[in-house]
Structure 1
């Protein structure tokens, strides 16, 4: 009889310790906060890509009108800077699963 009481108390204690997962609520709260602020970061990356595109276009047009012979590197640099910002937003969205 005494062994049964000890066995039951050990099983109840182990069941209580496994059901009390610490930090689950905090993890869910952090995920909610991340998903609420992430879309503003994604929008920010798209805005930065647009700014890079506009500044690059104006600068390249100015260099072209001034007669600079080698604008190919500038075109590629500004273009890939804008593409990088767009892809960085998509990569972060896939990384965090939002």
Structure 2
């Protein structure tokens, strides 16, 4: 009786495994992820460029106005842009694309 019950449960497991979503749905989800990811990667690079340009203008303005400590501002704006570039690379590594 136990052997019959065990065999019956194994057959039910096989039927449940056959009812999983197909390969085409998984490929469609992967394609959607890739298109969204490349948009996010481009967005991170654009944000890094914007941070760099805004930072350069503000630092130049402060330098021309004679502010004594612009080296701290240079570091802040540089690392803000650098962080955005690294965030894009991190996303690429996480999603394996």
| TM-score, scaled relative to structure 2 | 0.79
1:27-74 CA deviation, whole Å, 9 max, x = no partner? 443332111111011001001100100111111011111100000110
1:57 alignment partner in structure 2: 56
Q: Distance in 1 between matches of 2:79 and 2:50?
A: 13
Larger radius of gyration: 1
List runs of 5+ in structure 1 lacking aligned partners: 1-5
User: Where in structure 1 do 4 or more consecutive aligned residues deviate above 6 Å?
Assistant: none
2:91 alignment partner in structure 1: 92
Q: CA RMSD in A?
A: 2.6
List runs of 5+ in structure 2 lacking aligned partners: none
Q: Distance in 1 between matches of 2:53 and 2:13?
A: 63
Q: SS of the residue aligned with 2:77? A: helix
- With 55-64 and 30-39 compared, the bigger mean Cα shift is at 30-39
Compute the displacement of 1:81 (Å).
0.2
